[in-house]
Structure 1
Amino acid sequence: MCRWIAYSGTPVLLSQVLFEPSHSLIDQSLHSRMGVETTNGDGFGIGWYADESVATPAVVRDVGPAWNNRNLREVAHHVRSGLFFAHIRAATGTAVQQSNCHPFRHGRWLWMHNGMINDFRLLRRDLAVAVDPALYPDIEGSTDSELMFFLALTFGLTDDPPGAVARMAAFVERTGHSHGVQHPLQMTVAVADGERVWAFRHSSEGRSRSLFYSTRVETLRALHPDAAFLQEVSDDTRLVVSEPLGDLPGAWNEVPENSYGVVQPGQDAFHAFRPDLEQDVIRG
């Protein structure tokens, strides 16, 4: 599968999150502890929001492994952002190519995914024809992850992210069941619009891939007053990660099964995530 990080809060150099923690995403690209594969070397990507004067987030992706990419290290040590995504890929049947690396971008929106649509090759056509014809030409790659993004866009992501992702998940599951696939969907997803981050953990069989969120910064400061990083960031700073970045006691909490969280200044919240398999598809 894959590993990913979503960061929201005080603008920091990307390197402080991607390289410096003891079990950083770069370390996880070689030594994942909780992923299906130990090594995630089928490409990487980072996406970040600069400021409001820039219409879209920046995205850098490559097919090489993250652990020895000089360009990634160069960018990470010079780019500062208050909202960014990072993803390392372990391919699940589609080609190792730049257009298949996460995160995916459409306008102001970023999307990344860990998991898979089971028997995707059987379901791909039925899923693809449901994408809004106006959006379809913007699909660049061949992954299930990008197709999930464009289905969510079709089903109203820009107006109602939780509802659109639920409609996407339900549509994938119904399509899978129609083809005899017992457990069609496995997903942890992050999506952002430049101001907020939504993170989803769900699977058809109720055994979703790992996902964690960071404890509130003010609580961590009290627990670890000597941790320099905690003194530099605001109380609103949050991370959502596929697996913890280190072993700091009290720093990480598991995202509940079949739930989604919203990260935004002053109003973080968790909600149940229950795709309605009986609901008809509603386009946005």
Structure 2
Amino acid sequence: MCRWIAYSGTPVLLSQVLLEPAHSLIDQSLHSRMGVETTNGDGFGIGWYAQDTADTPAIVRDVGPAWNNRNLREVAQHVRSDLFFAHIRAATGTAVQQSNCHPFRSGRWMWMHNGMINGFRLLRRDLALAVDPALYPDIEGSTDSELMFFLALTFGLPEDPPGAVARMAGLVERTGHAHGVRHPLQMTVAVADGERMWAFRYSSEGRSRSLYFSTRVDTLRALHPATEFLRDISDETRLVVSEPLGDLPGAWNEVPENSYGVIQPGNDVIGPFRPDVHVGSVRG
């Protein structure tokens, strides 16, 4: 499968999160500890919001492996952001091409995914027909991940992210079951609008891919007062990751099975996630 990182908080150089930790995303691209595959070399992508151009996130993607890409290091060492995504891909049947690399973008929205739609080859046509016709021309690649994004947009992502993702997941499960697929969906998803970030962990079989969120910074400072990175970031800084970036005691918490969280100014929220299988007609 894939590995990903989502960051929200004090503006930092991307390299401080993507390159410098002991078990950084670069290390995970070669030595994943919790993924289905140890190596994730079928492309990568980073997306970030810049303070002076917050209407649309910037996206950089490439089909090469992250571990030896000079452009990734160059960008990461010079770009500073308060909200960014990074993703390394292990393909699950679709082509290794730039348009299939995460994150995906539509307007100010950004999306990335680890997992798969089981039986996607059988389900693809039915799911694609459910996408809003006005949005369909913007689909560039052939992955289940991008199609999930556009289904969520169709089902009202800008107005109600948890509800839209629940309706998307419900449609995938209902369609999968109609085609005889017992466990249609496996997903950890991150989605952001430049101000807030949502993360979802769900699978039809109840054995979801790994996902962790970082402990509150003030708590970590008390536990590890000598850790320099913690001195320079705000109490609201959070990371959500496919697997921990290091072994700092108390730093990482597993996202509960079948749940979602919102990272936002003020209080973050975590709650149960269930697909909405009663999906009505889509918007025309």
Root-mean-square deviation over aligned CA pairs: 1.0
Q: Deviations over 1:71-108 (max 9, x none)?
A: 00000000000000000000000000000000000000
Structure 1 position 276, deviation (Å): 2.5
Matched residue of 2:121: which SS?
Answer: helix
The match for 1:84 is 84
Q: What TM-score results when the alignment is normalised by the length of structure 2?
A: 0.98
Structure 1 position 54, deviation (Å): 4.2
Structure 1: which amino acid aligns with 2:174? R
1:229 aligns with 2:221: no
The match for 1:176 is 176
The match for 1:212 is 212
Structural mapping, 1:7-22, within 5 Å: 7-22=7-22
Structure 2 contact 54–194 (Cα < 8 Å) conserved: no
Q: Deviations over 1:199-249 (max 9, x none)?
A: 000000110000000000000000000000000100000000000000000
Structural mapping, 1:1-284, within 5 Å: 1-281=1-281, 283=283
Q: Aligned partners of 2:226 and 2:203: how far apart in 1? A: 39
Q: Aligned partners of 1:241 and 1:3: how far apart in 2? A: 8
Q: Aligned partners of 2:55 and 2:279: how far apart in 1? A: 34
Q: Aligned partners of 2:36 and 2:205: how far apart in 1? A: 16
Structure 1 position 267, deviation (Å): 1.5
Q: Which runs of 5+ in 1 are unaligned?
A: none
Q: Aligned partners of 1:81 and 1:275: how far apart in 2? A: 32
Structure 1 position 281, deviation (Å): 4.7
Structure 1 position 279, deviation (Å): 4.3
Structure 2: which amino acid aligns with 1:128? A
Q: Aligned partners of 2:187 and 2:115: how far apart in 1? A: 5
Structure 1 position 275, deviation (Å): 1.1
Q: Which runs of 5+ in 2 are unaligned?
A: none
Q: Deviations over 1:42-85 (max 9, x none)?
A: 00000000015442100000000000000000000000000000
Q: How many residues align?
A: 284
Structure 1 position 268, deviation (Å): 0.5
Structure 1 position 265, deviation (Å): 1.6
Q: Deviations over 1:10-43 (max 9, x none)?
A: 0000000000000001100000000000000000
Percentage identity across paired residues of the two chains? 85
Matched residue of 2:140: which SS?
Answer: coil
Q: Aligned partners of 1:279 and 1:61: how far apart in 2? A: 33
Q: Aligned partners of 1:281 and 1:114: how far apart in 2? A: 27
Structure 1: which amino acid aligns with 2:14? L
